[in-house]
Structure 1
């Protein structure tokens, strides 16, 4: 050894200093911990939890602190699970569920639960059976979003002690056995037939109502027309009566002349009428009418 030291030119003090420098360098490297963005490190000191290191550069005590667990904080998806459940109306269904979660507090996850995936799957299965057992089959099918919300809230509350955040809990499908499915299909067909009959009956009733409304409207319009015609005739009669009272016989002769003119006009406009015979009395009536016009 002395010959080696003499050959290298190193003394005992130099070797100690060199070893000390090497130890310090190793200690520095062991004390610096660079944690990736997607992970957290659980550090133990003498076998007990000491700290949780977040992403970035962290410093620990060399040879005393050790990284016991490297936990990914990325969102995870459990494998699709199927479990049987019985509704309140005694129908057996098979429910397919899917759960997404992420670890938010690694110190709880690593020291309170061993198989986190299995624990979550068991919890979800129990909650699904409990919730579906309180609902009828029709309600399960038509209110799936409400059922999912209830399951999600209960799962979140139960896994909070494990340092886990459930981000999504979905019911992918609700399957029925063949016998129940056939019975539901028959019920569905019967319901469709009933709705078709109801729709047809309502259509016929509506058609009758519309026809009655149309007839009523026509009767009202006819009555209105007759009333207007009667009012017009009454007005004309009143006017004629006034003229008779005022002009006497001349007014009556004037009305007779007007009627005769109208009759002759109708005869002249008839088909095949080339020759019109005018009575002498008609000419007298025309003369009387002209005299009345001159008076006016």
Structure 2
């Protein structure tokens, strides 16, 4: 109906290409126009100025011979001041962009190992954007942004990578566990050493107290009982301790038997036998 009435409407974010007898005349911006077809004028087509997105999936291989699928997302738009170039100079804009993306990706990825490809995807995206910007600006298009949205290796390769990662984590966990056990053993040994050291100090102090007490007892007994010697007092103390020990052993049903040289001699012989037993024990040690 618009053609019959010679009126044409251009929508927002769109421009129209006007021709006069098949030759480019002007670019019509959004609005309503009178285009009398009877004098050879017509609307050749419309061109959107909106940002468009093209997802390109490219298969290539890395430096370590791993095949991957790289998905690049290109955002582009036509420039209003170059609308005629964008309309006339390219017959298939998406195919042109896709060809440049393939060229850059297949030139960049084979120089990198698989791990480096994941780490340097931003550099790959910048290289693609730079090449597209240089090529497409001549055709009236602006490259808004280029992103590498996915790098997908083969399923078997992905599985192997996950297994390698899991093994590395298990190795680190085992190392940490062994280190923790080592620290526990060291702390335990240090605690036992400290305990034995303190126990030794206690035994030494105990024996020193016994010696001091025996000395005081011998001296006091010799003073209070005239005619006794230190040897007599020591014999009596040894015999007393001996019978106290035998009494404790007999009273406890769970105690182990202790054999000390003993004979039916006089009580005085007990002290000499105890001394002989102690001397023999020290010699055996």
For normalisation by structure 2, the TM-score amounts to 0.55
Q: Which among 143, 149, 167 is matched to residue 172 of structure 1?
A: 149
Q: 1:57 to 1:187 in 2, by over 3 A?
A: same
Q: Residue 103 of structure 2 aligns with which residue?
A: 126
1:111 matched to 2:85? The reply is: no
**What are structure 2's unaligned runs of at least 5 residues?**
195-285
Q: 1:205 to 1:164 in 2, by over 3 A?
A: farther
1:147, CA displacement in angstroms? 3.0
1:181 matched to 2:143? The reply is: no
Instruction: Name the CA distance, whole Å, in 2 between partners of 1:161 and 1:202.
Output: 64
Q: Residue 43 of structure 1 aligns with which residue?
A: 18
Q: 1:46 to 1:209 in 2, by over 3 A?
A: farther
**What are structure 1's unaligned runs of at least 5 residues?**
1-25, 219-296
Secondary structure class of the residue paired with 1:168? strand
Q: Residue 139 of structure 2 aligns with which residue?
A: 162
Q: 1:214 to 1:141 in 2, by over 3 A?
A: farther
1:198, CA displacement in angstroms? 3.4
Instruction: Name the CA distance, whole Å, in 1 between partners of 2:177 and 2:131.
Output: 47
Q: Which among 191, 194, 197 is matched to residue 174 of structure 2?
A: 197
Secondary structure class of the residue paired with 2:174? helix
C-alpha contact (below 8 Å) 2:70/2:151 kept by paired residues: yes
Q: 1:117 to 1:213 in 2, by over 3 A?
A: farther
Number of positions where the alignment pairs a residue of Structure 1 with one of Structure 2: 191
Q: 1:193 to 1:101 in 2, by over 3 A?
A: same
Instruction: Name the CA distance, whole Å, in 2 between partners of 1:212 and 1:146.
Output: 55
Q: Residue 97 of structure 1 aligns with which residue?
A: 72
Q: 1:193 to 1:54 in 2, by over 3 A?
A: same
Secondary structure class of the residue paired with 1:74? coil
C-alpha contact (below 8 Å) 1:127/1:155 kept by paired residues: no
C-alpha contact (below 8 Å) 1:93/1:177 kept by paired residues: yes
Query: Which residues in structure 2 correspond to 1:69-84 (within 5 Å)?
Result: 69-78=45-54, 80-84=55-59
Cα deviations across residues 2-40 of structure 1 (Å, max 9, x unaligned)? Answer: xxxxxxxxxxxxxxxxxxxxxxxx9xx74x654221211
For normalisation by structure 1, the TM-score amounts to 0.53
Instruction: Name the CA distance, whole Å, in 2 between partners of 1:207 and 1:154.
Output: 60
Instruction: Name the CA distance, whole Å, in 1 between partners of 2:23 and 2:191.
Output: 92
RMSD after superposition = 3.6
